[in-house]
Structure 1
Amino acid sequence: MMRDSCHIAVLVFPFGSHATPMLNLVKGIAASAPENVKFSFFSTAESSKSIFPGSAAKCDGDFSNIKAYDVWDGVPEHHVFSGNAIFARIGMFLDATPGNFDKAMKEAEEDTGLKLSCLLTDAFLWFSADLAEKHGVPWVPFWTAGSCSLSAHLYTDEIRKLGATTEETVGMIPGFEGLSIDDVPREILLDNEQSPLSLLLHNMALNLPRANAVVVNSFEELDPAITLDLKPKLQNLLNVSPIPLIAAAAASRTEPKFAANHDDECIKWLKKQDETSVVYIGFGSSVITLPPHEMVALAEALETCKSPFLWSLRDRARKSLPAGFVNRTSGFGKLVSWAPQMEVLASGKVGVFVSHGGWNSVLESISFGVPMICRPFFGDHGLNSAMVENKWRAGLKVKDGVFTKNGTLNALELVLNGEKGKELKENVQLIKGLAIDAVKPNGSSMRNFQELLKVITMS
């Protein structure tokens, strides 16, 4: 039976690109769930401020059943960080868990007058298994990346036995045939004592089988061998992406569509370009900064190529561009400090997406039928890039994993003009079709989404 009132606790890992897909998933659920379902969204104040419009206290008017609560980030008062402190911040945050979440959840229960009925959490927050058990409610972790990286983490012990220096492939993992051990996330190869993040991810892999359901930010048809292998390992594996299409279709009960409705400078500029002619460059999170020599190499390649380009580049990074680059390329290129990425990729104007290989970018690119050139940095970027190039054949990884002028020029020429590019475009269009089919009324992702609704709202 449906509970008289459902109070879903949403626990967020507030770093990198984790919070946005979680909020998108919750919005999709909120748009489809009955009115008696309420969501308390727990993240740090800084993270919530970045993803909620206006006040971090609540979501926008269409989602009044989602309310944000701040959890302590673990940083002592008056503490000053130096340099790139992302891993220090993550360490302090993890040291504060689970007490910071427990305190905020009690506040939400008192505020709403409703006991929690389910924990929907980032899969990184493996301790949520114990929190859910303590509250006597289901635990539903959300893996915000792809099934390939989830599988890699579940096979951590087997991969570590191969050794970090081996030249062997990781082909013993279903769906990984032909991939190298160099492609798997670095944290898998580290001893748990060397890295708090390695310990976190290993604990996650050990605890995920306890979950009532595991939600994955992908669709089954993208990695069928991996999906088939994961299902017996987890209680209820639910691939529910592409989430923006899922949310639109679930809310309207119609065929999935994505409408670009921004009228900003990016979209205005794109409308003037030829179909599939534009090189779009974007490296996602502010954590990622190209080394100056790679910035120069990429800029010189774009200037020599002379294809129209749209580069999402923060103002502080522009100091590394070659002198006069902006003026010399103003006739065919555009630099912006931020771009509405999904709308750019959905425009039909982009011929190739130059990216870091983060999962959100990969999923958006292939879901909108745009081939990629990947320059991986950390985490799952290398594995995602290897899947793009070697398994899905939907793009390329830059030679030796770094931008050089000639290497970048060759990659752009291959994708935009060569026979290889035609093959990549055909492949990525096939994947786009699979993504669209997955979110149709009887598609795999839509069926899994409906199952997710049942898991989190039924007693």
Structure 2
Amino acid sequence: MTVPGRSTGRIILFPLPLQGHVSPMLQLAQLLRSRGFAVTVVHSTFNPPNPSNYPDLEFHSIPCGFHDSEIASADLILRMNLLITRCEGPFTTFLEESLRNGPLTCLVTDSWYIFAQEVANKLGVTRLVLRTGSATSLSLFADFPLLFEKGYYPIQGSRLEEEIIEFPPLKVKDLPAIGSQGLDEIPVMVGGMVSNSRNSSGVIINTFDDIESESLSKLREQLRIPVFPIGPFHKCFPASSSSLLTADGGCISWLDGKPPQSVIYISFGSIAAVTDEQIQEIALGLASSNCFFLWVIREGGSGWLDQLPAEFLPVLEQRGKIVNWAPQQEVLVHPAVGAFWTHNGWNSTLESLCEGVPMICMPFFTDQTVNARYVTNVWKVGVHLENKIERGNIEMAIKQLFKDHEGKQMRDRVTELKEKAASCLQQGGSSHESLNELVDYFSSLNHSTFSES
């Protein structure tokens, strides 16, 4: 609800068009709209959100000069570079036109749009960034020069198990990477992101103080600008309608027929690629676990049947369900779900913590490895599949969560975090107060208008 007595204004939000970036930006848009601001979401023609799901928001589409097939087939580093570089011109034109149409309170862009601060400076617009990952990973990115100086980068196979004394409990193998991709591009991209975040007027982060207080304190020292941890965003609204993929709602009725905390939910996000060999091992590990399972296999269609061992199909019929995509927030809140096997993207990790669901961690790239280490070694609410993805290790991990005493302790700890996540959003809670500070900050700004140079 709008807070009485607080002035409102117009805010433009600009998300990166990838699932893990669009969802939190749209949730932030709803938060700001609930506080009385007029919100415009500008988005690329690639992976556009559905405006009909957000009748209180204004949407504007900009062309970014590439075909969907071109960007969808690119590796992650190339995809990010395409999204960043080709959106600059169209976005600048849009922002100029928008300023001609009326005053603007603030611009909030995804932190990876490294051109946005220069554009904002040129047009006299106040810009904040939204960090869609954790505070810990952003703090780590800010210390990339130190990590190179200390020899942790480039990552060497002989040092993978070495602990990083500047960032306990991380190990060298937890450092953000994308396999062998982008060895030259990653430092440049990260450096640009951190520099442009530091030069902005503030950082909004989808996190809360109880899980990242030390990282937030360090980040404030590193950036020397206001930092607003106002998460978890998704707990402020009903189940998200921001998915760029069509979810199979039938899995909820399937869960309705299962006992409490008896199902393991498996999803590795919208980008990570699972090999055929891994799918085979996952299937056989699930078969041996004697556990109910809901498994997201994105390839969908009829092809996924060909990837599964023949002996697994009777198990699937008796104890499992496979879908192309699931309504994840609804799934995690369902009482039948007892564990989440995840890639540890920040949105998924945060959603699992907030619903009190312990995790099996199988990170793939970038900050997922950092999140997984925090799940297992800091919050101690999950099991890390650090070794080869093999059916025996999988069976042991599932049984550890569902049957062992250690699994019960993890469940107790994650239940405590669930309660803290709920309380931080209540009046007087850390995220509620941080949101008030953000609203006050926006309300104090002078509105920007267009002036010909």
> How do residues 43-122 of structure 1 correspond to structure 2 at under 5 angstroms?
43-48=43-48, 51-52=49-50, 54=52, 60-61=54-55, 63=56, 66-75=57-66, 83-109=73-99, 113-122=101-110
- Rate the CA distance shift 1:228–1:300 in 2: closer, same or farther, 3 A: same
Residue 289 of structure 1 pairs with residue 289 of structure 2: no
What displacement does 1:132 show?
2.2
3-state SS of 1:222 partner:
helix
CA contact (8 A) 2:77 2:181 kept: no
3-state SS of 2:189 partner:
helix
1:442 aligned to which of 412, 428, 431: 428
Q: Residues of 1 paired with 2:321 and 2:181: CA distance?
A: 44
Tell me which amino acid in the other structure corresponds to 1:308: F
Count of aligned pairs between the two proteins: 423
1:194 aligned to which of 184, 191, 211: 184
- Rate the CA distance shift 1:143–1:441 in 2: closer, same or farther, 3 A: same
Segments of 5+ residues of structure 2 without an aligned counterpart are: 239-246, 446-453
- Rate the CA distance shift 1:95–1:211 in 2: closer, same or farther, 3 A: closer
> How do residues 33-432 of structure 1 correspond to structure 2 at under 5 angstroms?
33-34=35-36, 37-48=37-48, 51-52=49-50, 54=52, 60-61=54-55, 63=56, 66-75=57-66, 83-109=73-99, 113-163=101-151, 164-165=155-156, 166=159, 168-172=162-166, 176-186=167-177, 194-195=184-185, 197-233=186-222, 234-247=224-237, 264-285=249-270, 287-314=271-298, 315-316=300-301, 318=304, 319-323=306-310, 325-400=312-387, 402-432=388-418
CA contact (8 A) 2:71 2:82 kept: no
What displacement does 1:328 show?
3.4
Tell me which amino acid in the other structure corresponds to 1:169: E
What displacement does 1:122 show?
0.7
Tell me which amino acid in the other structure corresponds to 2:63: W
1:48-80 C-alpha deviation (Å, 9 max, x unpaired): 2xx3255xxxx533x1xx2222223332x7985
What displacement does 1:330 show?
1.4
- Rate the CA distance shift 1:136–1:178 in 2: closer, same or farther, 3 A: same
- Rate the CA distance shift 1:191–1:198 in 2: closer, same or farther, 3 A: farther
- Rate the CA distance shift 1:352–1:327 in 2: closer, same or farther, 3 A: same
1:243-290 C-alpha deviation (Å, 9 max, x unpaired): 122357xxxxxxxxxxxxx993222121221111111111111x2221
CA contact (8 A) 1:146 1:218 kept: yes
Tell me which amino acid in the other structure corresponds to 1:288: A
> What is aligned with 1:255?
none
TM-score (normalizing by structure 1): 0.85
1:75-106 C-alpha deviation (Å, 9 max, x unpaired): 2x798579554443332232324222101223
Segments of 5+ residues of structure 1 without an aligned counterpart are: 249-261
Tell me which amino acid in the other structure corresponds to 1:155: D
Q: Residues of 2 paired with 1:437 and 1:410: CA distance?
A: 34
Residue 8 of structure 1 pairs with residue 8 of structure 2: no
- Rate the CA distance shift 1:296–1:447 in 2: closer, same or farther, 3 A: same
3-state SS of 2:366 partner:
coil
CA contact (8 A) 1:19 1:47 kept: no
CA contact (8 A) 2:84 2:114 kept: no
- Rate the CA distance shift 1:198–1:191 in 2: closer, same or farther, 3 A: farther
Q: Residues of 1 paired with 2:8 and 2:354: CA distance?
A: 36
Task: Please list every run of at least 4 consecutive aligned residues from structure 1 whose deviation after the TM superposition is greater than 6 angstroms.
Answer: 2-5, 189-193
Tell me which amino acid in the other structure corresponds to 1:91: N
3-state SS of 1:18 partner:
helix
CA contact (8 A) 2:248 2:323 kept: no
Q: Residues of 1 paired with 2:68 and 2:356: CA distance?
A: 47
TM-score (normalizing by structure 2): 0.86
Q: Residues of 1 paired with 2:79 and 2:69: CA distance?
A: 11
